[in-house]
Amino acid sequence: MGFEKFGRKSFTSATKIAKFVDFLNEGKIMGTLCKKCGARYFPPRADCANCFSSDMDWFEMPKKGKLETFTVAYYAPYGFEMDCPYGMGVVDYGNNLKLFARISKGLKLEELKNDMEVTVKPVRYEDGQIAFEITKE
Amino acid sequence: MPKDVAVIGVGQSYFVRGYEGSIRELAFEAYREAAQDAGITSKDVDASIICSAPEYDKQRSPAGVIAEYLGLIPQPTMYVETVCSSSTTGVRIAYGLIKSGLHDIVAVIGFQKMSEITSAESQERMGRGADIQWESPFGTMMPAYYALYAQAYMAKNGLTLDDLMQVRIKSATYGQINERAVYRRPVTPEDFDPNNPNAKLAQIVSWPLRVGDACANADGSSCVILASAEKAKAISKKPVWILGIGAASESVNMASRPDFSKGLRVAYIAAQKAYKMAGITPKDVKVAEVHDCFTIAEIMAYEALGFAPPGEGKQLIRERATYKEGPIPVNVDGGLLSKGHPIGATGGSQIRTIVLQLRGEAGAMQVPGEPDIGLVHNIGGVGLYGNVIIFGR
Ligand SMILES: [Zn+2]
């Protein structure tokens, strides 16, 4: 399976880290770790900009992080209107590891607070697309 | 304080909705004004740099088409792009070309005809302005990205929605007196009243940002003509010198960004470089143009540029310090919020405003006290690219 399954709507089909989507199907959100210099990347990368190695391992992202910032969009770009309104946010795991995603529909704007503990889970859409989203539990 | 490269001519078109002409005709308006301002003809120009954001253009590789229409062939021409900061990046390239001795006079022309494509097309392309592999698939857009910065910044620093509204009210004050601006109407607190169903500016685009917090789309063009010291002194009665020029870039992905509550890192880095090169401090700046694509961006810019300490940008707007009569006037031409934001033309238009201010030719918008040093802060994307340029007489 290629990367075109990633997200509400994908704009990328060929990428060397397409395996990310297979992991997502197994319920895992994975980043990459450079075997040579130990640099960790999320979103995952096939190549290390630090030491130029392409010898990478996968690692699973931490279970818990803190919501650094968030928004709720009331307008959407073409192709996303059906989901409006939807939240988006940045999760900070510490150690320079962060993640950007949509926020689960189950989490209302009034409930969102900076630095609240959150987790990130895979989410499957009716049309077969798969992504990950920020949730409370 | 280097005085190696000067601005000898500036021009811009009216910023409008739905320009009735082609992109080459739009570019001509700004270029003619700048060339006449400099007192030169196209034969005197050694090279041209054409700048726009290509997602809005139907014409591929517009440099050749525009250079021909402006009478700038067979001289070298090229296309430079960093989205919303394209034309200040063009000026950066021109600075290098002149300083190296390769060229003596370079014209930088920025343009954007945002109405060139339909709004459906524009919406679709807008979604691809971000990281198309990792972020566009979530349905991101510019207001949502700036909202991420606004939310974190406001929560940490006690900036309020009313403060943001005051930024918009200030920009509208000057949009009214700038005949080239697209948004000429005044803005009052009633326009932001969430209980008033007719208050369009109060509608939320992406929490916490409202329609009124966002800049006005426009069609427009700008032109900056730069020259070497020797040529500038020979040609120009009032050359305006580039004293400092700083630039930086940032990760496109939000997951790799530093602390959102602190604003845009590119602006801090570019400002630091520009100040160092010019050998001045923020206190020396008498008038500034900042990239207020959203109200929050102006507040963050106050801090990145050192006009206010970190977290204290709100005081400047509360004390009206950035109005024309204040200690550090900012965006007294209406800014992107009211003058309009024709992407590729914006940086050149900001430079034009500062050049006119330093020459004492800004008319109704002129800040008092004969300003001698001015600054331009122009940001591409959501802090993806940043240019800060310091000008002096
Ligand atoms: Zn490495």
Alpha-carbon distances, residue B201 vs A48, A79, B38, B123, B214 (angstroms): 45, 25, 40, 20, 9
Give the closest residue to B130 by CA, choosing from B122, B141, B120, B121: B141
Mutate to test the interface with B, among A21, A30, A69, A109 (most CBs of B within 10 A): A69
From ligand 1's centre to the CA of B314, what distance in Å?
A: 42
pLDDT at B93: 98
Instruction: Compute, in degrees rounded to 10, the torsion defined by CA atoms B150, B152, B156, B159.
Output: 10
Alpha-carbon distances, residue B83 vs A70, B244, B378 (angstroms): 24, 22, 10
Three-state DSSP class for residue A57? strand
pLDDT at B56: 87
Q: Do A11 and B152 touch (CB under 8 A)?
A: no
**Cβ-based neighbours of B143, under 8 Å, separated by 6 or more:** A73, A75, B205, B206, B209, B214, B294
**Cβ-nearest to B120 among A7, A78, A99:** A78
- Of all residues in chain B, the percent with pLDDT exceeding 90 is 92
pLDDT digits (tens, 9 = 90+) for B206-255: 999 999 999 988 999 999 999 999 999 999 999 999 999 999 999 999 99
In this predicted structure, the answer to whether residue A1 has a pLDDT above a threshold of 60 is no
Q: Do B255 and A43 touch (CB under 8 A)?
A: yes
From ligand 1's centre to the CA of A20, what distance in Å?
A: 19
Q: What would the mean pLDDT of B267-292 be, rounded to a whole number?
A: 98
**Residue appearing with tokens 């010291």:** B229
pLDDT at B274: 98
Report residue B129's pLDDT band, with 50, 70 and 90 as the boundaries.
Answer: confident
Domains of chain B, residue spans: 5-116+217-235
Give the closest residue to B13 by CA, choosing from B71, B77, B87, B83: B87
Give the closest residue to B379 by CA, choosing from B271, B281, B240, B241: B271
CA–CA min distance B26, chain A (Å): 28
ipTM: 0.97
- Per residue, the 3-state secondary structure of chain B, as one string, reads CCCCEEEEEEEECCCECCCCCCHHHHHHHHHHHHHHHHCCCHHHCCEEEEECCHHHCCCCCHHHHHHHHCCCCCCCEEEECCHHHHHHHHHHHHHHHHHCCCCCEEEEEEEEEHHHCCHHHHHHHHCCCCCCCCCHHHCCCHHHHHHHHHHHHHHHHCCCHHHHHHHHHHHHHHHCCCCCCCCCCCCCHHHHCCCCCCCHHHCEEECCEEHHHECCCCEEEEEEEEEEHHHHHHHCCCCEEEEEEEEEECCCCHHHCCCHHHCCHHHHHHHHHHHHHHCCCHHHCCEEECCCCEHHHHHHHHHHCCCCCCCCHHHHHHCCCCCCCCCCCECCCCHHHHCCCCHHHHHHHHHHHHHHHHHCCCHHHCCCCCCCEEEEEEEECCCCEEEEEEEEC
Q: Do A98 and B257 touch (CB under 8 A)?
A: yes
Please tell me whether the overall predicted TM-score, pTM, comes out greater than 0.90 for this model. Answer: yes
* Amino acid at site B232: A
pLDDT digits (tens, 9 = 90+) for A90-134: 999 999 999 999 999 999 999 999 999 999 999 999 999 999 999
Residues of B annotated catalytic, as ranges:
84, 341
* DSSP bridge partners of A99: A91
pLDDT at B115: 86
pLDDT digits (tens, 9 = 90+) for A54-78: 999 999 999 999 999 999 999 988 8
From ligand 1's centre to the CA of B252, what distance in Å?
A: 20
CB count in 10 Å sphere of residue B61: 11
Q: Do B148 and A9 touch (CB under 8 A)?
A: no
Q: Which residue of B has its CA nearest to A9?
A: B137
pLDDT digits (tens, 9 = 90+) for B309-355: 999 999 999 999 999 999 999 999 999 999 999 999 999 999 999 99
Architecture per CATH, B5-116+217-235? 3-Layer(aba) Sandwich (3.40)
* DSSP bridge partners of B25: none
pLDDT at B35: 98
* Amino acid at site B315: Q
Q: What would the mean pLDDT of A49-53 be, rounded to a whole number?
A: 97
CB count in 10 Å sphere of residue B309: 10
Give chain B's mean pLDDT.
96
**Residue appearing with tokens 């995603």:** A101
**Cβ-based neighbours of B385, under 8 Å, separated by 6 or more:** B82, B83, B85, B89, B247, B248, B249, B250, B266, B379
Q: Please give the Cα distance from A129 to A10 (Å, whole number).
A: 9
